[in-house]
Structure 1
Amino acid sequence: MQGKRQDVAKNVILFLGDGMSIPTVAATRMYIGGEEELLSFDKFPYTGLSKTYCVDHQTADSACSATAYLGGVKGNLGTIGVSAAVGKKNCTAMNLKENEVDSIARLFQLKGKRTGLVTTTRVTHASPAGVYAHTAYRRWESDSAVLKSENDPKECRDIAYQLIFGETGRNLQVILGGGRKNFIPKEEEDEEGKPGARSDHMNLLVDWTKQKERLGLKYEYVSNREQLLNVKHDTEYMLVLSFLIGGGIG
């Protein structure tokens, strides 16, 4: 039997099953065959456990837990990519650089590595947003959501905006998931004839393409399966967005 490899990994892929607590995984084993049944990841050579509580709540949500497993720092319930010095909906604290928590994606970028995120929910949802966002409230997925909470979108930059213009977000080579409406203004429709959600008249999809053009990068914006299957092999940056209304846990 070949021994375990101990050399340095070329690539790192983090798979996250949102809501997969120990009881949930145990229930899955029992459902498919009993307590002694093995799931694919049960066969891995190593196992680790983490405590996922928030600083201010015993039961975590997808926001503070994303900050913990992607940034190594615990935050408050509902906050993403910031330390516990930032309370929910506190824009002032959110904008202080010393309160930002860099994700593992940002750390890899600083090392010159390529990074990306792929999700079955909205790319602006709390779990994937932990890769790139720094926000005092997980629900601020578009500027309209910031306005709804009676805050200034120019002071509290929404999560979609941060994905396109933020230091980590704009450097992601692959972005694939749902939530397209958060990038399109209300007065416009997407490729499926569905209206956007933004109130600031900004089309962030257009901004993304212009951003890559200015830098002379090879990019593709993809909105359907056919386009995805025909992405050019030399594409450097890829943004894949579907409409996708719901999805995600916590």
Structure 2
Amino acid sequence: MMKSRIRERLGISFGHSLAMVTTQRTKEICQIVRLKSTQVFFVAGTCLVTVMVTLFCIGFMTRYEVENEVANVADVDYWKDRVASSQKIWYDKGIEELNEALRSPKGPMYPKNVRIFVVQGIDGRDLAAYRFPAKDLSQGNTNYIWDQFPHLVRLKNSCSQQFPCQVDRVSRALWSGIPLDKVPESQPDCGKMTNETKNPLSILRQAQLVGLRTGFVTNQRITGYTAAALGNTNSNYECDERMPLGSSTTGCQDIARQLISGETGKSLNVIIGGGRQMLSSLVPKTKWDPVDELLCESNDGRNLLKEWRNQKLKESKVNPIRFELVQRTDELESLNASSYDHLLGVMANGDLSGNLKAPSLKLMVEKSLQVMEKQGQGYLLIVEQFVQSGMDKLKELQMLNETLFNLHKDQDTLTLVLMTNAIYPKARLDVSEETELISNLPETFKESELEIQQRLYEMPSESLLFAHGPKSSIFHGIRKETFLAHAVSHVLSKSRPSP
């Protein structure tokens, strides 16, 4: 009996102890489970918040893209199920162009360099005529690189106004930013002319004064109207032959001499074109490079090419520079232009079109850029391509297109292509070609249709300016012809050299 009671008591104690241990263990397990549940709650809450934030961001970006027209290739769509299958093909191609237009530009806000290509003798009507040279017009034309430029501005032609229009004054208006009717006229008494610093400055001279490298390339002569305006010359005479008798005694200098000895001309890093017969009285005459008898021909015994070389030699003694003078295509081709600071290329007696062995526009531009591109220094390069009447305009456009296509694609360069017909009315006292045509409609309509079309074609048209690169967006709408100088002056004043 005693043993049985002892066993019962021991069993009760053991059971009680076991129950206590089980209860404690249960509490511990509950605490652990509660802790993990809290962690699970926090993790689940975090995931939920993340998903909500993501959805909010997606919605916000979608709305931003719709409102601001930001898109990628997959975003732009159209009603594919509502157009014919034959129509869908062209819509798909159009979407590619639309996406390209909607892409936001990248790169620096302001350009380091500016390249301006001026095509004299081709305007919008010519572009429309030669944009589809192939027989299959449905294929369009994708060869002209300026058609891919994102911005375009139309420049008004002041020659349609009622005052005399002279080509030299048009050039000065275009490159100085002064309205055509306010451009100072050349003074007959050159001795009373103020010095160059008080004359209107072309954008080329403005660029030089702020430390930029500068260059001018032309397929005409370097003493033409464009060069005269860019070089800040104050004469209408390309060389001494055409100047009035006795004018040199009053201090007059022709364009050729001012271009070589003037501050703007001396500071040019590159100048390439024709015009040897204006710069030197003794020039070689060959069957492929004759003297142009319709142009000025120096007869005062000058040799401005030699003067340019002597001038650079003298300058190099103070400030070490490398320079070169070339007069043949093979000399230009073999030149390691990137190692030179200054390059003068006189490639023909007259215009380059008169020299059968003259270098191509592509070669002249390539060598010029090699001289212009220096580390830490920006540049302004102006290239003139003059398309004379009788030239193959399609061939000239293809030449320009090839030149532009092979340019180095850098994000810090603004490229402008200016197309102008270079046809200006004859100077009249009170009427322009446009107003004269309107006032003579009865006589005009008596002419043949071909003659009427020719009259209309020869009327001055607005110029087209295509723009690509940093700040190209400012070139839009319809502007005065002075806008080009104002805009280029602005962007270059904001440019910063590379480190």
TM-score (norm 2): 0.42
1:174 — aligned with what?
Answer: 270
Structure 1 stretches lacking a partner, 5+ long: 77-82
Q: Does 1:153 align with 2:248?
A: yes
2:231 to 132, 157, 163: 132
**Deviation digits for residues 197-232 of structure 1, max 9, x if unmatched?**
323322100100000000113111001111112224
- 1:133 Cα deviation after fit: 3.4
Q: 1:224-239 residue pairs with structure 2 within 5 A? A: 224-232=328-336, 233-239=338-344
The Cα shift of 1:146 comes to 1.3
> For 1:1-40, what aligned pairs fall within 5 Å after superposition?
3-5=104-106, 7=108, 8-29=110-131, 31=133, 33=137, 37=141, 39-40=144-145
Within 5 Å, which residues of 2 pair with 1:29-108?
29=131, 31=133, 33=137, 37=141, 39-54=144-159, 60=165, 62-75=167-180, 84-86=183-185, 90-92=188-190, 95-97=193-195, 100-108=199-207
Distance in structure 2 (CA, Å) of the matches to 1:136 and 1:208: 20
Residue 3 of structure 1 aligns with an amino acid whose one-letter code is S
CA distance in 2, matches of 1:166, 1:229: 29
Matches of 1:190 and 1:200, distance apart in 2: 17
- The aligned length equals 236
1:189 aligns with 2:283: yes
**Shift in alpha-carbon separation, 1:12–1:142, aligned structure 2, 3 A:** same
Deviates more, 1:111-120 or 1:4-13: 4-13
Gaps of 5+ in 2: 1-71, 73-102, 354-385, 389-421, 423-499
Change (3 A) 1:57 1:23: farther
CA distance in 2, matches of 1:126, 1:96: 21
Deviation at 1:161, TM superposition (A): 0.7
Deviation at 1:25, TM superposition (A): 2.6
| Contact in 2 for aligned 1:64/1:74 (Cα 8 Å) | no
Name the CA distance, whole Å, in 2 between partners of 1:69 and 1:16. Answer: 11
- Of Structure 1 and Structure 2, the greater helix share is in 2
TM-score by length of 1: 0.80
Report the counterpart of residue 79 of structure 1 in structure 2: none
Structure 2 CA distance for partners of 1:213 and 1:92, relative to 1, 3 Å = closer
Distance 1:194 1:41 in 2: 35
Query: What is the CA deviation profile of residues 139-158 of structure 1, one whole-angstrom value per residue up to 9, with x for unaligned ones?
Result: x11111214xx461353311
CA contact (8 A) 2:323 2:343 kept: yes
Q: Tell me the amino acid that sits aligned with residue 184 of structure 2.
A: A
Which letter maps to 1:96?
T
Structure 2: how far apart are the matches of 1:227 and 1:202? 24
Structure 2 residue corresponding to 1:203, chosen from 303, 328, 335: 303
Kept after mapping to 2: 8 A contact 1:85/1:93: no
Which one has the largest radius of gyration? 2
User: Of the candidates 129, 132, 142, which is equivalent to residue 239 of structure 2?
Assistant: 142
- Structure 2: which amino acid aligns with 1:43? Q
Report how far residue 176 of structure 1 moved.
0.5
Alpha-carbon distance between aligned partners in 2 of 1:93 and 1:72, rounded to the nearest angstrom:
26
Alpha-carbon separation, structure 1, partners of 2:156 and 2:246: 32
8 Å contact from structure 1 (residues 191, 223) kept in 2: no
> Percent same amino acid at aligned positions?
25
**2:331 partner SS:** helix
One-letter amino acid of the counterpart of residue 25, structure 1:
L
Pick which of 128-137 and 7-16 moved more: 128-137
CA drift of 1:57 comes to: 6.0
| Residue type at the aligned position of 1:189 | V
Pick 1 or 2: higher relative contact order, CA cutoff 8 A, min separation 6. 2
Cα RMSD for the two superposed structures: 3.2
User: Equivalent residue for 2:326?
Assistant: 222
8 A Cα contact 2:169 2:183, kept in partner: no
2:220 counterpart letter in structure 1: T
